[in-house]
Amino acid sequence: MVTLEKNASAQLHAPRPQVQEGVFNFDQPNDTGLGDDVKEEIRKMKAEINELRRSTVHQGASTNEPSGNPMFPVNSLGEIMSRLKAVETRVTTAETCSIGGTTFASDGTVASYITTHTVPSCAMCWDLFSVMVCMGAQGLTGKERSDKIYSAEKGRTGSALEGDLVASMTHKRPLCLFGEGSKLARLDQGFAMCKTYEHWIGAGEHVSYRQELTNQIQSYTEGIMGQIGEAITPATLLAHSLLSLNVMQWNAIAGFMDMCYLNLVAKCKFDPGKAWKLEAAGVAAIFKATQPFRSKVILLEDSTKLSQKAAFMWATFQTHRVIDSFVSVQFQSHPFIVTEISLFMVRERVDAKEVADLGAKCKKAEESSNKAAGEVKRLLEAHNDLKRKHDALHAEFRLVKAKVK
């Protein structure tokens, strides 16, 4: 068999490499979100490649002669692969995300990335939600820290830090905002850890809670960086990109909280307490939107296995993507926020007590109005009586005046 035939056959039958920048897998097609034109083009190219495979294997080829089927010359393999590459760049799904210049389309592509770049642990990849959950842990004694490390080694997590990351996936909302002690407060309590906007900004005697959280996020991020180390590899660059995104996302959320609260109070004339509760509902909606992806990994037990490591990293990537979807529309235009505002208006804007108080005031006003109407009627009758008397006196005066003349 000629060299070209060997090369073509090798290319056709070799395991398909995983492409970092947007992955398309012939053997496991994923048509989710594809347009009909893209699906049709992919179908045609599959048929062409299958035909080329048959022609190459069974008919033979030479560098100067066409293959058994004149419609598919030998050099068309490169053309088809080029066309396939062009289609790959157009193929995206709703869950595709790009981080640090690398695009991930599924947990399968994450697994390929882990293998290719030797990612040692899923604890290299953190999202803002997990950071806010884990940074709230109190300082440990030496024994407590040793016990924590020992538990991680005995369990099926690679390290104590990885164990914390895995556990964070079980949380619905971060306690640093929505906690009441060590437990999650009811959502209708708002920001249980920061009950007023004055506490948030540090007005009066308060220390700015916003700044406290910002400092904690920064400190915990630096701790993770210390665990990652200073080596420059694709995996560490990806980890640093994620950590930088965490800080940017937090600043965006904090800015949204300030802007929206001030608009509600100054422009919409909301009660300050209710405006702050609405802020809590909006921020809770951000974390709620990540739950479909995080909940898929809460029962996984061995984060050191490739498939489960990839699943945890994929959940982290999806958390980033979801939070970015809020940032990109400035939060208030996101469907989750719009829904929460509508529900809040129904629940809180006019409550039952306010309606009852307003009804009582209306009834009292009606009674006063009826009383005033009666008084007006009495005065009108008195006025008419006085007018009649005045007219009679005036007539009598005219008669007297005539007699005098």
Euclidean distance between CA atoms 197 and 280, whole angstroms:
11
Q: Mean per-residue pLDDT for 105-133?
A: 92
> pLDDT at position 83, please?
60
Please give the DSSP secondary-structure letter assigned to residue 348.
I
DSSP conformational letter for 202: T
Closest Cα to residue 88, out of 16, 18, 22? 22
- 326 or 55, which is more confident: 326
Q: Across the chain, which distance is largest between two alpha carbons, in Å?
A: 152
Whole-angstrom Cα distance, residue 271 to residue 265?
7
Per-residue pLDDT reduced to its tens digit, 248-267: 999 999 999 999 999 999 99
* pLDDT in the model for residue 378: 85
**pLDDT at residue 205, as a whole number:** 80
The average pLDDT across 359-364 equals 82
| CA 392 to chain centroid | 86
Rg (CA), the chain: 36
For residues 77 and 11, the answer to whether their CB atoms sit within 8 Å is yes
> Exposure pattern of 300-330 as b/e (b: 16+ CB <10 Å)?
beebeeeebbbbbbbbbbbbbbbbeebbeee
Do residues 253 and 283 touch, judged by C-beta distance below 8 A?
A: yes
Q: What are phi and psi of 51, to 5 degrees?
A: -65, -40
Instruction: Kindly state the tokens that stand for 279.
Output: 């802020």
Dump pLDDT digits (tens) for 328-346: 999 989 999 999 888 888 7
CA 316 to chain centre: 12
| Cβ atoms < 10 Å from Cβ of 197 | 22
Decide: residue 200, CB within 10 A, 0-12 exposed, 13-18 middle, 19+ buried. Answer: buried
The reported pLDDT for the residue numbered 281 is 94
Task: Find where tokens 């990885």 sit.
Answer: 162
Task: Find the mean pLDDT for residues 136-141.
Answer: 49
Report how far Cα 246 is from the mean position of its chain's Cα atoms.
12
Classify residue 360 by burial, with Cβ atoms within 10 Å: 0-12, 13-18, 19+.
Answer: exposed
Burial of 99 (0-12, 13-18, 19+ CB in 10 A): middle
pTM passes above 0.85:
no
Beta strands in 147-270 (DSSP E): 179-180, 183-184
Confidence of residue 37 (pLDDT cuts 50, 70, 90): low
pLDDT digits (tens, 9 = 90+) for 282-307: 999 999 999 999 999 999 888 889 99
Residue 282: C-alpha distances to residues 201, 254, 341 (Å): 18, 12, 7
In the block, which residue shows the tokens 């009909």?
A: 36
**Neighbour tally for 162: CB within 10 Å:** 23
Is residue 183 scored above 60 in pLDDT?
yes
Supply the pLDDT for residue 35.
57
- pLDDT above 70 as % of the chain: 72
**Average pLDDT, stretch 316-326?**
96
Residues paired with residue 104 on neighbouring β-strands, in sequence order: 97
Backbone angles phi, psi at 246, to 5 degrees: -60, -45
Mean pLDDT, residues 169-197: 93
The DSSP element (H or E) to which 97 belongs, if any, is strand 97-99
User: Hey, what are 24's tokens?
Assistant: 């398309």
Q: Is the pLDDT of residue 182 over 70?
A: yes
Whether pLDDT at 311 is above 90: yes
Q: Torsion over CA of 8, 9, 15 and 17, rounded to 10 degrees?
A: 0
Q: How far is CA 359 from CA 269, 270, 305, 353, 365, in A?
A: 22, 21, 65, 10, 10
- The first and second tokens of residue 260, run together, are 């929206």
Query: How would residue 18 be classed by pLDDT, with cut points 50, 70 and 90?
Result: very low
**Selection from 69, 45, 42 nearest residue 57 by Cα:** 69
DSSP 3-state assignment of 183?
strand
User: Does residue 57 or residue 358 have the better pLDDT?
Assistant: 358
Alpha helices in 60-185 (DSSP H): 76-90, 107-117, 128-134, 142-154, 160-168, 175-178
Closest CA to 9 of 111, 66, 77, 89: 77
- Return the top range by mean pLDDT from 13-27, 87-101, 142-156, 205-219: 205-219
pLDDT at 87: 53
Residue with tokens 């009108």: 380
SS3 16: coil
Q: Quote the tokens at residue 107.
A: 């947990």
In whole numbers, what is the pLDDT of the chain averaged over residues? 78
